[in-house]
Structure 1
Amino acid sequence: MGETQQTNLTSGDASQEFVIVQEGKAKVGFHGPVFYNPVQEFNRDLTVSVLREFVRSRMANGSAKDEKYPEEPKAKKAKLFHEKEDGSIRILDALSASGLRALRFSQEVENVDFVLANDFSENAVESIRENIRLNGVEDKVQATFGDAVVTMMSHRSIDKRFHAVDLDPYGSASVFLDSGVQCVADRGILMVTCTDMAVLCGNTPETCYNKYGSTTLRLKCCHEMALRILLRAIDTQANKYTRYIEPLLSISVDFYVRVFVRLHTGARMTKESGTKVGHVLACSGCHSLEVVPILKKFEDGKSLKYGTGVVRQTLMGGDNKCVHCGHSVHQAGPIWIGPIHNHEFVEGMLKRLRETPEEERLGTHNRLLGVLTNVSEELDVPLYYEHDQLFNVVKCCVPKSIAVKSAILNAGYKVSGSHCNPRALKTDAPAQFLWDICRHTAQQANVTADRHDEKAPGRKILSDSITSEVNFRLHPGATQQTKDDQMVRFQCNKGKNWGPRSKAWGSSNSTNAGFYVRPETKPQVENSSE
């Protein structure tokens, strides 16, 4: 199950080849060139797994109508929220292309009532309709031609909203976020992919600001920062409608970021959003990091109030230079600084994957287990360092990662890795203690400040004395339980056709989609046989 198969058939037109690709339980057919990226199978498998857990938790905990109106009769609640009594869900695949996602959702996710597969290419919609017939799911999947934004806006009323909306565009999803947060039912799930990693990771901060309302820096932790920029952008759009997000799972893998967020409605909790957003201070010399929240919550008598509070950052001194190395400090953000995963939700996904019989496993089952196990071990702490990055600043030998983690744990702090980077060091320890670890290691290796140039960041760091006790004794919490397993924690062999494919010809799902419809005429192809 889950393996990709290709079958070459000849259609009525002998000059045109009809190709069938199977992934999971779904089959998709293509006339001529195949716009299919097998690398994205993990993305689709992950989405199927998330939707399965979403349906399970929804059935176990009740839907939004049960939470808001617990005393009302079921029939009245079902009518108000336009829901069936069996709790079945409606899904929108807003940028469907071949319809593969929609077809897999209809056949591999239980309790699905209806899937709407939308695209702004008439050729794509016709292909989706063929694939619906090919899979025999006419009763569950419907294909529509339309601009994704218009389609979502036409479903913003409570009785028309979807329980799950998938946005998987080519490039940035920023133009779809406003309409996306409006067409998701209360406690429904919004799934968003962005592949513009160069923008999100700091190559063009001005473009990042234009698209997401945040600036970014080229840091070692840029992939997690990309996730947090996207989460903040979604939450900002939701806040305008007295809604807020609950991140269930946020993944940075391969060449894209993918987030799964639950949408809630409520004025009181929407006010909390400001406390979950902050700016990032980053030193240009030693790369020390600090996060400064935008808003703080405090008690005023018997009521809760919100204010900007007093900035208590410890990275900059009175001269606005880094207190550790004396170099300039840059600011980026705002980013989401709250949790990026719901660990209970992730554990539920892992439990279900482990219990799946071998013959029913998804095609990327082992990688799903590895990545999600990695996620389950992550600390709810913003950003991370690379453990060798710190020691390179002071130019001393790099101890093993387990030794550095042991020193942090022995000092009473927390530490973990990150699914974003195999060398990540995610910790709540202050930068001062991390530099004490580096100073201690440098002392043991007889590395002094004189080895560095006058203005090098390592010179000032090694010139300062150690202020904390550093103990490298092996700590049991420093060993990762999955190291001895055969899980694919990080993708190693990138293989053929890696990276995002070229945009499908004739696709108009872009910022211009709502303003014009481009006539879809086939490109001229020379006949090589003549």
Structure 2
Amino acid sequence: MLYISFLSGKKTTTLRESAYSGLEASCCCMLASAARLVRITALCASVSSVRGPLLGTRSGTDVTAHRSKTMDCLTAAMDSQVNTANCGSDLKSTEVTHAATALDGRVKDVAPFPDEPNQGTPTEAGLLPGETVVKEGKAAILFPSANEVFYNPVQEFNRDLTCAVITEFTREQLAQRGVRVLVPGEKERVVVSLSGESQGTEQQEEKEEEEEEEKQKREQGEQEVETAVVGGALPLTADSSTSERRRTQQAGPRELEDSQMTVSSGQRGLRVLEGLAASGLRSVRFALEIPGLLSVTANDFSARAAALIARNAQHNGVSHLLQASQRDASMLMYEARGRKERYDVIDLDPYGSPAPFLDAAVQAVSEGGLLCVTCTDMAVMAGNSGETCYSKYGSISIKAKYCHEMALRIILHSVDQRAGVYQRYIEPLLSVSADFYIRVFVRVHTGQAKVKNSASKQALLYNCVGCGSFHLQRMGKRISQGKHMKYSAATGPPIGPVCEHCGHRHQLGGPIWAEPLHNTEFVQKVLSAVSGNPSRFGTSRRIEGMLSMITEELEDVPLYYTLDNLSSTVHCNTPPLLQFRSALLHAGFRVSLSHACKNALKTDAPPGVLWDIMRSWEKTNPVKRERLSETSPAFRILSAEPTLQACFDVREDANPQSRRRHLMRFQENPQANWGPKARAKTGGGISSALEDRRKQFQNKRKTPPTEASQLKPFPCKKFRKGTCMRGEECCYSHKPQLGSNEGEKME
């Protein structure tokens, strides 16, 4: 135990070897409210993993210097309040909180630390045997070393982007409720100009802000304005100065709590649900990084995951905001649909397909609420199994170069179709294809009249198997007649039985979402927030690059062509990107890139114009036509003369701003095995015996053995069936394999 007494400036110290310097500084800071000599006795824990040497092992000079620093901290605290920056690194955050609370006189007694941490109590680092710590954003998450709870570091970009989108959504929602959202480190909001032009000097911005402030004073009088920060709201009144607002806005969470008392935003905060939370990393980051939230529910069906969520919430100090839940995600959302207060934000990031949860999600989200959905079953959505895609999402996927954007439109079609059953419809805010998954952010509204437009928002897809030309056929038609809208069935098909360019047949895919994938105004706000606070996220550069490309995309042009596929079809050299884009611009058509594919071309030009440009390019880069088959798409396309003479002179506007500024548009894999991870396994993963068998059989087909003796370690399949008659002469092993059934299932 540590006993510290201060009597007339005389210091008497009795130390046990397990006492540490940080605890002495903490105890001294708790004396700051005393104006006279006081005596304090604190019971200190024997913590096993605390950095820094023992006081008992310090020399006399070190102890004197440490006591001098402690007395300086005490003096400063008695004059005003504890300044944590001057107390050194020995003061832990939890200890400073106790000290500051004692200074205000709000806590009379401080509960003592436990003398010895028991098995269920985390150490100071929050670790139990077999656990590791993963830090992402502001969260420090405890993970079991075994693969019991799923975690994939690849999706840090996914989580960062989600935090940015929900923050902007919260800002818009709370602005309607009279609450202003502040993010620590965020600068004054400016509109990001991709052209790089100046948006005005700082003095002009301050003047405009002062004028806006005076206007608000006249409109609202002396009405108090609440400002939401991480974990609560700060009462900034209408007469608060601009400098004070900026100081509060740039302060961190700890500075905000020390400078002004945090007050609750009551029922005006947003309710967030993460249906499949696993470790709770995403929910913990929501609680730590997104202001204006009333509650965060982290749900998982696994008991291990639910227990880990509760531990991580406590470890990160967000137990007051984050509640762990062990429920079936669909049932949890179905129960919320009948309540008055539904979830404002629902995040679904399952391992695989989100299809089983979509019906419940569109009902459980509030009016105008945000639904965030991730799909990682890209093999199904990209055309490998069209029948499986139809069973899950109600749409046929086909193999094509635009498969990633088509996957986005398939999931939007599925969500809108399920929402329409309950007289609801969706408004896509942002749709992203990244790495091995897709991610969509949609708002869900209610309105029977708007639901009738759903049929005209969906389209069937005709794709030529020869040249890759595609056409869309809307499922419905709507015609405006004054104040009324007339709905009717669409007419079609838009093409003949075979492709007019190459003579090959068409594939039928869809239906897919044929409306815009993004709300450009909302994306611009998210981009401005991320650009103004680049240190907030670890993947800010990638977010900025991707959102910049999204703002440049043509909104009303579904799907895209790829330059390499056009060249491959006619067997010619690939034209430079800028020259091909310039040819389209010279012809009077629009063109843009796509965030979903590096060499994509989104254009409103019909396929015939694209092939005319390729014919013009082939004349300057001729192909040996005698080698072409008469039935090949290249022969039939090049046999026709171009009706459009393409001009390949490079135009200045052919190079998009995101490309000029060298933004990180398409990130290369930063490390090996960058992609999806294995599903979490109950029971701590596979056994050591099974792991040895996996290593034994790994790559056995890639490197076939050259000698019969090398086959002896492998089991004989005929011996297992009882049909091998070779006996010991068999080149394979006849020994019984332990755990063979389990191994077969795992492989």
TM-score, normalized by length of structure 1? Answer: 0.86
Cα distance in 2 between the residues matched to 1:338 and 1:435? 26
State whether structure 2 residue 129 is matched by structure 1 residue 16: yes
Q: Deviations over 1:289-333 (max 9, x none)?
A: 1111111111457631111232261xx33xx11000000111100
Cα distance 1:16–1:294, how it changes in 2: closer, same or farther (>3 A)? same
* Structure 1 residue corresponding to 2:622, chosen from 419, 422, 446: 446
Cα distance 1:431–1:15, how it changes in 2: closer, same or farther (>3 A)? closer
Q: Deviations over 1:26-60 (max 9, x none)?
A: 12112332643211111100100000111122234
* Structure 2 residue corresponding to 1:112, chosen from 279, 284, 293: 293
* More displaced stretch, 372-381 vs 490-499: 490-499
State whether structure 2 residue 548 is matched by structure 1 residue 373: yes
CA contact 2:146–2:685 (8 Å) conserved in 1: no
Q: Deviations over 1:404-425 (max 9, x none)?
A: 1111111111111111111101
Cα distance 1:526–1:438, how it changes in 2: closer, same or farther (>3 A)? closer
Cα distance in 2 between the residues matched to 1:325 and 1:153? 51
Cα distance in 1 between the residues matched to 2:503 and 2:644? 21
Cα distance in 2 between the residues matched to 1:448 and 1:304? 55
State whether structure 2 residue 152 is matched by structure 1 residue 37: yes
* Structure 2 residue corresponding to 1:167, chosen from 333, 344, 348: 348
1:355 deviates by 1.0
The residue type paired with residue 401 of structure 1 is L
Aligned to 1:103: 284
Q: Deviations over 1:406-446 (max 9, x none)?
A: 11111111111111111101111100100000111112223
The residue type paired with residue 144 of structure 2 is H
Give the aligned length.
483
The residue type paired with residue 457 of structure 1 is P
Q: Deviations over 1:169-201 (max 9, x none)?
A: 000000100001001011110000010000000
The residue type paired with residue 583 of structure 2 is A
Aligned to 2:165: 50
1:393 deviates by 1.2
Aligned to 1:327: 504
State whether structure 2 residue 509 is matched by structure 1 residue 394: no
Aligned to 2:424: 243
Larger Rg: 2
State whether structure 2 residue 406 is matched by structure 1 residue 229: no
Cα distance in 2 between the residues matched to 1:8 and 1:40? 32
State whether structure 2 residue 139 is matched by structure 1 residue 26: yes
Aligned to 2:190: none
Cα distance in 2 between the residues matched to 1:20 and 1:402? 47
1:462 deviates by 1.2
Q: Give 1:381-420 correspondences, 5 Å limit.
A: 381-420=557-596
Cα distance 1:469–1:133, how it changes in 2: closer, same or farther (>3 A)? same
Cα distance 1:298–1:484, how it changes in 2: closer, same or farther (>3 A)? closer
Aligned to 2:333: 152
Q: Give 1:147-226 correspondences, 5 Å limit.
A: 147-226=328-407
Cα distance 1:463–1:45, how it changes in 2: closer, same or farther (>3 A)? same
Cα distance 1:262–1:8, how it changes in 2: closer, same or farther (>3 A)? farther
The CA RMSD over aligned residues, in Å, is 2.5
Aligned to 2:652: 476
Aligned to 2:531: 354
Q: Deviations over 1:475-524 (max 9, x none)?
A: 22210212243522112125134212111123xxxxxxxxxxxxxx6678
Cα distance 1:61–1:205, how it changes in 2: closer, same or farther (>3 A)? same
State whether structure 2 residue 174 is matched by structure 1 residue 59: yes
Secondary structure of the structure 2 residue equivalent to 1:160: coil
Cα distance in 1 between the residues matched to 2:143 and 2:521? 40
CA contact 2:474–2:490 (8 Å) conserved in 1: no
Cα distance in 1 between the residues matched to 2:140 and 2:650? 52
Q: Deviations over 1:203-257 (max 9, x none)?
A: 1111111111110111001011011000100000000011111111101111101
CA contact 1:407–1:437 (8 Å) conserved in 2: yes
Unpaired stretches in structure 1, ≥5 consecutive residues: 1-6, 64-82, 507-520
Secondary structure of the structure 1 residue equivalent to 2:656: coil
* More displaced stretch, 476-485 vs 298-307: 298-307
* Structure 1 residue corresponding to 2:676, chosen from 500, 503, 515: 500
1:458 deviates by 1.2
Cα distance in 2 between the residues matched to 1:158 and 1:366? 40
Cα distance in 2 between the residues matched to 1:524 and 1:325? 53
Unpaired stretches in structure 2, ≥5 consecutive residues: 1-48, 52-116, 121-126, 179-263, 692-747
TM-score, normalized by length of structure 2? Answer: 0.62
Cα distance in 2 between the residues matched to 1:308 and 1:406? 38
Aligned to 1:74: none
CA contact 1:8–1:19 (8 Å) conserved in 2: no
Report the identity percentage. Answer: 43
Cα distance in 2 between the residues matched to 1:84 and 1:26? 23
Secondary structure of the structure 1 residue equivalent to 2:453: helix
* More displaced stretch, 122-131 vs 385-394: 385-394
Aligned to 1:510: none
Secondary structure of the structure 2 residue equivalent to 1:262: strand
CA contact 2:460–2:474 (8 Å) conserved in 1: yes
Cα distance in 2 between the residues matched to 1:55 and 1:36? 26
The residue type paired with residue 32 of structure 1 is S
State whether structure 2 residue 543 is matched by structure 1 residue 430: no
Aligned to 2:486: 305
* More displaced stretch, 247-256 vs 84-93: 84-93
Cα distance in 2 between the residues matched to 1:11 and 1:477? 67
1:466 deviates by 1.4
Secondary structure of the structure 2 residue equivalent to 1:285: coil
Aligned to 1:126: 307
Cα distance 1:394–1:524, how it changes in 2: closer, same or farther (>3 A)? closer
Cα distance in 2 between the residues matched to 1:426 and 1:298? 27
Cα distance in 1 between the residues matched to 2:518 and 2:397? 21
Secondary structure of the structure 2 residue equivalent to 1:306: strand
CA contact 1:11–1:17 (8 Å) conserved in 2: no
* More displaced stretch, 386-395 vs 113-122: 386-395
Secondary structure of the structure 1 residue equivalent to 2:452: helix
Q: Deviations over 1:138-161 (max 9, x none)?
A: 110000111000001010125131
Secondary structure of the structure 1 residue equivalent to 2:631: coil
